[in-house]
C-alpha cells in the first residue's frame, strides 16, 4: 500500500533522513522504532506532506504523494495522527470529530464514522459536549485518533500515541490500535516504547540517525539481542 | 444546515430586518431636528464604522488568532478609494448634487470598491502571514499600517494635507461623498444598512464551514492541516475578508467626515481611530464574539465621547482631567483592567441569538433572584 524508496529529507544543512526505503502492505501493522532524533517523526511528516522531501519517492497505491499537497493526501485515504495530542482545544469533542470529517461531504457517512469512532472510544461518547482542551491526556490522544478515523482512512500514521501517558492508558491505547488493525486498517506506528510496539506489530523497522539499521518480523526483532540491548533495556 | 441553525437565521434575520425598518422610520420622523441632527446622527455614523472595524479585526484576531496591528491601514485604503472615486464621478458629471438615483449608485459603488481594494491589499498582507505568527506578524502588519499612510501622503492626487488641500483641490465635503449634517441624517439608512449587512455576512462566515476551519487553524494548525484543511488558503482568505470590511468601514468614515487626512489613520494618532484602539475594542468585547465587538464598539464610542464632551469630566480633579486630554491613556487603563479581571472580554466567545439569549437571560435572572433570597435567609439566620 505505502512504498518509500531512497527517501532523503533535510532541514537546511541538517540531513535528517539519509536514504530510507520501507514498505507497508495492505492490512499490515508496521512499526518504526528508534531513539530520540532518529528521524521517526520526520518520516511521518514527509509522508503526509507537512515536510518536503529532498529526494526519493513516496507512493500510496501507486500514487505519488510527493506531488500531492497535504490537504489532498487525506482524501487519498491516508490519515495522520500527529505527535503530542493535537486537538482543537476550544471546540467540543464532537466538533473536533466533525473537523476530522472536513473533507467528507456525505452526511450519512459522517454519521456512520461518528458511531464507529464512539464504538472504539466509548469515553469520547461520554464526553461529546466537553471542550477538548479540558480532556485528560489520554482522552486527548483518543480524540486525535478518533478524528483521524472520521474520513474512513485505508491507512493510519500514528506518531508516538503513548507519549506522556500513564502505563494503564498506554495499555488501553495499544489495545485500541490492535482493534483498529483487526478491523482491517493498515497502520504505520512510530513509537519510542519499542516493547509495546513490537508486541502488537506484524513487522518493524529500526531507525538510527536517519538510516534503517534493521528490519524484519516484529517477533524476531523482539528477541534480537541488539534490539533488546539498545531499545528494550534488557 | 440543520433545522435549529436554519430557524435561528430566519428568526434573527427577520427581527433584524424589522428593527432596521423601525429604525429607518424613526430616523425619518426625527428628521432634521437639532439634537438628533447634530449629535445623535453623527454619533450613529461613527458607531457604524467602529463596529465594522472591530468586528472585522475580530475575524483575524479572535477567530484566526493572529495579531494584526495595521487594521487602520485597510481602513485608510477604503476611505481614500471611496473619496477619490466619488470625486472622480462628480467631475465626470455623473451626479451634481447629493441626491437621486445616480448619486445612490455612485455611493454604493464607492463603498464596494473601497472594500474590494482593501481586500486586495489584505491578500498581500495575508501572504507573509502564511510564514509568520504572533509577534512577527504583528510587526509586519504594524509596518504595513505605517507604510500605507506614507504612500497615501505621497500620492500626487491625495497629498499630505488631505484631500481638501491636495492636488485634488476640492474639499470632500463640498463635492464628494462627505456628508454635511443634513445629509448625514438623510443617508443614515444607508450607513446603518451597510453596517448591518456586513455584520450579518461576517456572522455567516464564522458560522459556516469556512469559519469552523479558521477556528480549527487557531486552535491547532498541525491538526488542522492533518484534517485536510488548506491552512494557507484559509489564512489569506480570512485576511482578505477582514480587510474588505475594514475597507467598507473606511468608506463609511469618508462619508461622514468633511475631509480626509492620513493623520486620522496613523499609528501615533491619539484619537479614536488607531489600530491599537481597534485591538482594545476587540479584546474588550471578547475575542471570538462578533456580538462582543458590536457592543464594545458602541461602549468605546460612548466612553470616547464622554471623555471629550462629558460635563462630569470638568468636575474631576485636575490631574485626572489632564490625563483625559490623552485618551489613549484611558484606553490603556481599560485594556489593563480587562486583562486583569476578565481576560476573555465581556462576551468571551458568546454570540447573541434570539433563540437562546432570552431564555438564558431569564434563567440567569431567576438564579440571581434565588441567590439573593438565599443570602437574605442567611443574614436573617445570622441575626437570630
Q: What is the pLDDT along chain B (384 residues), one digit of tens a residue?
A: 577 888 888 888 898 999 999 988 888 888 777 788 888 888 999 999 999 999 999 999 999 999 888 898 999 999 989 988 888 888 788 888 888 888 899 999 999 999 999 999 999 988 887 788 778 888 888 888 888 888 887 877 765 555 554 444 345 666 777 788 888 888 899 999 999 999 999 999 998 889 999 999 999 888 888 888 888 899 999 999 999 999 999 999 988 887 777 777 765 555 556 777 888 899 999 998 999 999 999 998 898 888 878 788 888 887 777 777 777 778 888 888 988 998 888 888 888 888 888 888 888 888 776 655 544 443 433 333
pLDDT of residue A84: 82
Return the closest-CA partner of residue A201 out of A214, A188, A183, A185. Answer: A188
- B-chain CB neighbours of A151 within 8 Å are 228
CA dihedral A57, A61, A65, A68 (to 10 degrees): 150
Contacting residues for B102 by C-beta, under 8 A, at least 6 apart: B94, B95
CB contact under 8 A, B219 and A144: no
- Give φ, ψ of A191 to 5 degrees: -150, 145
Q: Are A202 and A29 in contact (CB under 8 A)?
A: yes
- B-chain CB neighbours of A81 within 8 Å are 226
- DSSP assignment, residue B163? T
Q: For B297-325, give the DSSP string.
A: HHHHHHHHHHHHH-THHHHS-HHHHHHHT
Q: Provide the CATH number for the domain around residue B243.
A: 1.10.3470
State which H helix or E strand residue B85 sits in. helix B71-91
**Closest approach of chain B CAs to the CA of A112, in angstroms?**
17
Of the residues B2, B220, B233, B350, the best mutation for testing chain A's interface (the one with the most A CB atoms within 10 Å of its CB) is B220
pLDDT of residue B377: 41
- A-chain CB neighbours of B213 within 8 Å are 99, 102
Q: How far apart are CA B4 and CA A95, in angstroms?
A: 16
Rounded to two decimals, the ipTM of the complex is 0.83
Residue range A139-159: mean pLDDT, rounded: 93
> What is the 3 state secondary structure string of B22-69?
HHHHHHHHHCCCHHHHHHHHHHHHHHHHHHHHHHHHHHHHHHCCCCCC
Which residue is closest to A79 within chain B, CA to CA?
Answer: B226
Residue B221: is it exposed, middle or buried by C-beta count within 10 angstroms (0-12/13-18/19+)? Answer: middle
Q: Are B210 and B234 in contact (CB under 8 A)?
A: yes
pLDDT of residue B384: 37
**Closest approach of chain B CAs to the CA of A215, in angstroms?**
28
Query: Is the dihedral angle over the CA atoms B53, B59, B64, B65 positive or is it negative?
Result: positive
CB contact under 8 A, B220 and A88: yes
Residues of B at the A interface, defined by Cβ within 8 angstroms: 209, 212-213, 215-216, 218-220, 222-231, 288, 349
Residue-number span of the structural domain to which B293 is assigned: 3-383
A147 reaches B (C-beta below 8 A): yes
A86 reaches B (C-beta below 8 A): yes
- Give φ, ψ of A163 to 5 degrees: -60, 125
- A-chain CB neighbours of B231 within 8 Å are 71
Residue predicted with more confidence, A205 or A164: A205
Beta bridge partners of A81: A158
C-alpha grid cell, residue A219 = 517477533
Angle at B348 between CA B346 and CA B351, to 5 degrees: 100
Contacts made by residues B162-169, CB under 8 angstroms, sequence distance 24+: B162/B259, B162/B260, B162/B261, B162/B262, B162/B263, B163/B80, B163/B83, B163/B84, B163/B87, B163/B259, B163/B260, B163/B261, B164/B258, B164/B259, B164/B260, B168/B84, B168/B87
**Closest approach of chain A CAs to the CA of B29, in angstroms?**
47
Return the closest-CA partner of residue A200 out of A168, A171, A224. Answer: A171
CB contact under 8 A, A90 and B228: no
Nearest to A82 among B222, B231, B288 (CB): B222
- Distances from the Cα of B82 to the Cα of B78, B108, B178, angstroms: 6, 9, 10
CB contact under 8 A, B227 and A69: no
Q: How does residue A64 score in pLDDT terms, banded at 50, 70 and 90? A: very high
Q: What is the mean pLDDT of chain A?
A: 91
Angle at A170 between CA A165 and CA A172, to 5 degrees: 130
pLDDT of residue A234: 57
Q: How far apart are CA A85 and CA B219, in angstroms?
A: 12
Residue range A97-109: mean pLDDT, rounded: 89
Q: How far apart are CA A216 and CA B4, in angstroms?
A: 55
**Closest approach of chain A CAs to the CA of B229, in angstroms?**
5
Q: How many domains does chain B have?
A: 1
Contacting residues for B108 by C-beta, under 8 A, at least 6 apart: B190
Q: How far apart are CA A162 and CA A179, in angstroms?
A: 16
Residue predicted with more confidence, B211 or A227: B211
Q: How far apart are CA B250 and CA B116, in angstroms?
A: 12
pLDDT above 70 covers what percent of chain A? 99
**Closest approach of chain B CAs to the CA of A147, in angstroms?**
8
Q: How does residue A201 score in pLDDT terms, banded at 50, 70 and 90? A: very high
Q: Map residue B170 onto helix, strand or coil.
A: coil
pLDDT of residue B357: 82
Q: How far apart are CA B118 and CA B365, in angstroms?
A: 44
Q: Are A187 and A155 in contact (CB under 8 A)?
A: yes
Query: Is the dihedral angle over the CA atoms A198, A201, A205, A207 positive or is it negative?
Result: negative
Q: How far apart are CA A79 and CA A70, in angstroms?
A: 10
Q: How far apart are CA A202 and CA A187, in angstroms?
A: 10
Q: How far apart are CA B301 and CA B288, in angstroms?
A: 20
Grid coordinates 519499542 are at which residue? A194
Q: Alpha carbon A224 to chain centroid distance?
A: 24
Return the closest-CA partner of residue A121 out of A146, A153, A149. Answer: A146
Q: How far apart are CA A139 and CA A130, in angstroms?
A: 11
pLDDT of residue B328: 76
Amino acid at each position: 500500500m505505502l512504498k518509500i524508496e531512497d527517501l532523503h529529507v533535510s532541514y537546511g544543512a541538517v540531513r535528517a533522513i539519509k536514504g530510507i526505503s520501507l514498505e507497508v502492505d495492505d492490512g499490515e501493522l508496521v512499526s518504526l522504532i528508534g531513539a530520540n532524533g532518529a528521524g521517526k517523526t520526520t518520516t511521518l511528516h514527509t509522508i503526509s506532506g507537512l515536510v518536503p522531501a529532498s529526494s526519493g519517492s513516496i507512493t500510496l497505491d501507486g500514487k505519488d504523494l510527493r506531488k500531492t499537497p497535504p490537504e489532498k493526501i487525506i482524501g487519498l485515504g491516508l490519515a495522520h495522527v500527529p505527535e503530542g495530542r493535537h486537538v482543537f482545544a476550544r471546540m467540543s469533542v464532537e466538533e473536533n470529530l466533525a473537523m476530522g470529517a472536513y473533507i467528507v461531504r456525505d452526511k450519512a457517512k459522517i454519521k456512520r464514522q461518528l458511531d464507529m469512532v464512539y464504538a472504539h472510544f466509548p469515553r469520547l461518547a461520554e464526553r461529546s459536549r466537553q471542550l477538548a482542551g479540558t480532556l485528560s491526556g489520554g482522552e486527548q490522544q483518543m480524540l486525535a485518533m478518533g478524528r483521524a478515523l472520521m474520513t474512513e482512512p485505508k491507512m493510519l500514521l500514528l506518531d508516538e500515541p503513548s507519549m506522556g501517558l500513564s502505563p494503564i492508558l498506554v495499555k488501553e491505547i495499544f489495545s485500541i490500535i490492535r482493534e483498529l488493525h483487526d478491523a482491517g486498517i493498515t497502520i504505520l506506528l512510530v513509537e519510542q516504547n519499542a516493547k509495546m510496539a513490537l508486541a502488537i506489530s506484524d513487522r518493524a523497522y529500526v531507525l538510527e540517525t536517519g538510516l534503517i539499521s534493521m528490519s524484519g518480523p516484529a517477533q524476531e526483532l523482539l528477541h534480537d539481542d541488539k534490539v533488546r540491548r539498545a531499545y528494550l533495556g534488557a | 444546515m440543520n433545522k435549529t441553525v436554519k430557524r435561528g437565521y430566519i428568526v434573527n434575520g427577520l427581527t433584524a430586518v424589522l428593527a432596521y425598518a423601525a429604525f429607518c422610520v424613526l430616523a425619518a420622523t426625527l428628521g432634521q431636528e437639532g439634537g438628533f441632527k447634530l449629535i445623535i446622527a453623527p454619533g450613529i455614523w461613527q458607531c457604524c464604522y467602529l463596529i465594522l472595524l472591530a468586528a472585522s479585526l475580530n475575524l483575524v484576531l479572535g477567530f484566526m488568532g493572529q495579531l494584526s496591528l495595521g487594521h487602520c491601514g485597510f481602513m485608510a485604503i477604503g476611505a481614500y478609494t471611496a473619496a477619490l472615486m466619488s470625486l472622480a464621478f462628480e467631475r465626470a458629471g455623473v451626479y451634481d448634487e447629493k441626491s437621486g438615483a445616480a448619486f445612490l449608485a455612485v455611493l454604493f459603488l464607492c463603498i464596494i470598491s473601497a472594500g474590494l481594494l482593501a481586500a486586495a491589499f489584505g491578500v498581500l498582507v495575508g501572504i507573509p502571514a502564511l510564514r509568520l505568527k504572533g509577534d512577527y506578524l504583528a510587526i509586519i502588519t504594524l509596518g504595513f499600517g505605517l507604510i500605507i499612510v506614507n504612500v497615501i501622503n505621497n500620492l500626487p492626487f491625495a497629498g499630505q494635507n488631505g484631500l481638501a488641500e491636495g492636488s485634488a483641490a476640492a474639499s470632500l465635503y463640498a463635492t464628494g461623498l462627505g456628508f454635511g449634517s443634513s445629509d448625514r441624517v438623510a443617508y443614515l439608512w444607508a450607513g446603518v444598512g451597510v453596517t448591518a449587512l456586513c455584520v450579518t455576512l461576517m456572522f455567516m462566515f464564522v458560522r459556516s464551514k469556512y469559519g469552523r476551519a479558521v477556528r480549527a487553524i487557531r486552535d491547532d494548525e498541525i491538526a488542522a492541516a492533518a484534517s485536510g484543511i488548506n491552512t494557507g488558503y484559509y489564512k489569506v482568505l480570512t485576511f482578505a475578508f477582514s480587510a474588505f470590511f475594514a475597507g467598507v468601514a473606511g468608506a463609511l468614515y469618508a462619508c461622514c467626515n468633511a475631509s480626509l487626512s492620513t493623520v486620522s489613520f496613523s499609528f501615533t494618532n491619539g484619537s479614536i481611530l488607531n489600530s491599537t484602539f481597534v485591538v482594545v475594542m476587540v479584546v474588550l468585547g471578547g475575542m471570538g464574539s462578533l456580538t462582543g465587538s458590536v457592543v464594545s464598539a458602541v461602549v468605546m464610542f460612548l466612553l470616547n465621547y464622554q471623555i471629550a464632551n462629558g460635563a462630569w469630566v470638568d468636575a474631576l480633579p485636575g490631574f485626572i482631567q489632564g490625563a483625559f486630554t490623552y485618551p489613549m491613556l484611558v484606553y490603556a487603563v481599560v485594556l489593563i483592567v480587562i486583562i486583569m479581571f476578565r481576560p476573555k472580554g465581556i462576551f468571551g466567545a458568546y454570540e447573541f441569538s434570539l433563540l437562546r439569549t432570552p431564555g438564558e437571560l431569564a434563567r440567569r435572572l431567576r438564579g440571581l433572584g434565588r441567590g439573593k433570597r438565599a443570602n437574605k435567609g442567611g443574614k436573617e439566620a445570622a441575626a437570630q
